[in-house]
Amino acid sequence: MGDIGFSLREAFVGMRRSGLTALAAVVVMSLSFLMLGLFMLLTVNLRHAVHLAQARVEIAAYVEENVAPDRVMAMADSLRQIPGIRSVEWISKEDALERFTEELGDDAALLESLEANPLPASFEIAIYDDYKTEGRVSSLAEQIRSVDGVEDVDSGLTWVAQLNRGIAVVAVLDLGFGLIVVFATVVSVGSAIKLALLSRRETIQVLKLVGATKGFIRTPFLIEGVIQGAAAAGIAALLLWGSYRFAVSFLPDFRFLSHFSLVLFVVLGTALGGIGAMVSLRGLLKEKAWG
C-alpha cells in the first residue's frame, strides 16, 4: 500500500508540475475521442434506421389495366404460393385514389382537375422478416414479376440498400478515426510523460542510487498516463452526451451508445493513456541515459 500511495502522490504531483503540457495532452485526446464518438453515434443511428426500414419493407405488384375480377383472384392465389410471402392484399384503382387523397390532405383539391383515375391497381405483399434482405427481396420481386398480369414491381428496398452502403462508409470512417485516436493518444501522453521525466531527472537518479527498481520508478508515470487517458475519454463522453441531448430535441428517435459501448469507450481511453506512457518510458530509463 505504501508503494501505491507514493506512486499516486507522485503522479498527481507530476501532473501539477507539468501544468499546461498535461492539460494540452488531455484536450487533444478529448477532441480525438469526441470525433470517434460522434461517428460511432452516427453508425448506431444508421443501423437503427436500416432496421426500422427493413421491418416496413413490403412489395407492391402493379397489375395491367382492365384485369378481370376472376383473374385477380387467380393472381392472388399464385402470389400466395411463392415462398416468403406472408400475405397478399388487393388494392383497386379506387382504393389507391382514396388513399392518395387522404395523404394529400388539404391539397386533395388538386385531384379534382383530373379527368380519370391515373393510379394503377396493385397487390400489397407482406413478406416474412427472414426474407427482408436485399438478395431475397430481389429474388421475390423477380418471381412476382413473372406472374401473368403483373406489369411492374416495386420492392422498396433500393433506399434500404443505400442506407446499408452508408453504414459501410461510416464504419470505415469509424476505423479511420479509431486509428487517429490511437495515434493522437499515444503521442500526446508520450510527449507529456517525456517532459515529466525530464523535469524529474534528478529525483529519478537519486531513487536509482538508493536501489529503487525500474518498476517502482515507472509506476507514477504510468499512472499519469492512465489518468490522462481516462480524463480525456470521460470528458469526450460528457461532450458526446451533450451532443446527443441536443440532437434528440430535433430527432426524438435518435439513439445514444449502449452502456457497454460507453464503458468500453472510457476503458479504451484509459488503456491508451497507459500504453502512451509505456511507449514514452521505453528506453528512457536505461542506465546509460539516466546514469
Please report the domains of the chain, with CATH numbers, ordered by start residue: 2-52+161-290 (no CATH), 58-156 (3.30.70.3040)
**pLDDT band for position 286 (cuts 50, 70, 90):** low
Total Cβ atoms within 10 A of residue 249:
9
Helices (H), the chain: 2-18, 20-55, 69-80, 93-104, 134-145, 158-199, 201-209, 214-248, 259-281, 287-290
Q: Could you tell me which residue, 145 or 24, shows the higher pLDDT?
A: 145
Cβ atoms of residues 219 and 3 within 8 Å: yes
Structure confidence at residue 237 (pLDDT): 92
pLDDT at position 67 is 79
With H, G, I as helix, E, B as strand and everything else as coil, classify residue 56. Answer: coil
Among residues 263, 258, 190, which one has the least CA distance to residue 230? Answer: 263
Dihedral of CA atoms 109, 110, 113, 115 in degrees, nearest 10, equals: -100
Rounded mean pLDDT, 79-106: 81
CA distance 80 to 161: 26
Q: Which residue has the cell 493518444?
A: 185
Q: How confident is the model at residue 160 (pLDDT cuts 50, 70, 90)?
A: low
What is the pTM for the complete model shown? 0.66
Cβ proximity of 136 and 57 under 8 Å: no
Least confident of 68-72, 102-106, 119-123: 102-106
The model's confidence at residue 113, banded by pLDDT at 50, 70 and 90, is low
Give 213-247 pLDDT, tens digit per residue: 666 767 777 887 788 888 888 999 999 999 999 98
**β-bridge partners, 89:** 124
